[in-house]
Structure 1
């Protein structure tokens, strides 16, 4: 029979909200999965999809063995369905966005937070008030700011496994065109990095987002490769440690590697290798001689025996001048 039963029509508003929440929770659903989750027939599901489309939700039908549906971008921004924890997480992100490295995000964050606050259920307002009253964002120094539109393009390409083409300027100032399989976006100390597999070089690469221009997602998709690390942050940290830059220093420290890491004010530009339970070797490397000098000074101030084993010429010169200025 083609008509919906009275109970099915009565449950329709709540069912539409559940359907919308499911469509927003992952990229694509088969029709059979959605019908099973909502406990309705395929015919009722198709009617509900049409109702969402009439409300300006851009639900696209997909082809394949069973067929399915996905929520795509449209001309307008329809309402989003957020649970309690997601709403608080979004609010926290908006509160702290002023301290980030994304261009123009401060005013937009304030406007978005005001809209979110107006519609939050009363049970969540005390948590939001606590966040707003006790959270302060300090902007990261020396972090180049990036375009939020570019970040959105890179993030969606990572999520949807779309091949990505862009122009890139490396640290030596050389420009190149890149065609990559984007894997993950990572932010560390105020800078954004794209981790991607570069088929042309048959290897993984990291790209600083502030050096990327003209990013263009392709229609073609790829099957994501396993990242050669436990997680994206670990991979990025390893890559930094393995990189070789113009200025360097190597120190032997009579402290365990974990102790040195925990006592430094920020992530060291290099790697810290354990050398027994109560000793480690610190390899520092960066394009900035000043930065390497600062970390050498910080490590020698850790109240532990420390030996400077090797140092590049300019860093050594800076350290000698620093020692001469100290009483």
Structure 2
């Protein structure tokens, strides 16, 4: 859109808001009054009035006895922001993306934000002439409703009460006590305490990161990531804490690589053989210093295999991203990472009786 067209659109939007605010009043406005207040011509005012009626279903009526315009319903309000027609595909994708948070306390606030947006595209009418993009049941929906698809993923459910307690602990730098279920050992809950630094969303899961008392020694604190849905019986303690320096707790700012939000404080060099289906992924920009070259080593490999090397501090995210490619990604370094990968493969084979 040209700059002049953008300016014209902004002026028109401002006029619509001004008209809407005038029609909220308990009086009638003549065309002469409206053109004077808006500083526009009669034809421009007529276009604005038509748009209020036709595009936004405003209950705008002309009363011949009063000689002016008014809203027949005081319940009507223009949305706070208009979504232009060319931006509606993106708006539709955002709504579909929000659906994955239905079992979390984020869902309602996210939709409330979207309630402040509206589109000039006609959908179902609800209530006092308002329109609802999400609940449309028209036989002929906008093209992007079915032609642009967002893959659905299930986000772990979070208790709303626990969510509010965690947010308060973060806001006030307050120590949090809770029972925690460790699935690696048993389902039994253990009492824990944490100085919460960040609430982290990563790979369809919520984590709470901070300094936590060692399970065996309360005098020792370690950096831990707790899975929020496994935290039970949360309770705010009267103790408060000070955040450490940012490079310790703001690891989202110090991540090396694009493998989610979780990271460690150790940056290492990673090397992998990419082959077969993974060759497409080798082109992705997942690390700022990624290097790709033909693989010439002695490890068994497929034709066209490449050596991918980069540095990162996100071992968990790398494992999640790469492991799904199976035999088409082979880890070579660092040694501890290779050992964990190998151990996982052996355990999977054992569980399958291989």
Asked which structure has the greater CA Rg, the reply is 2
Q: TM-score, normalised by structure 2?
A: 0.41
Q: TM-score, normalised by structure 1?
A: 0.44
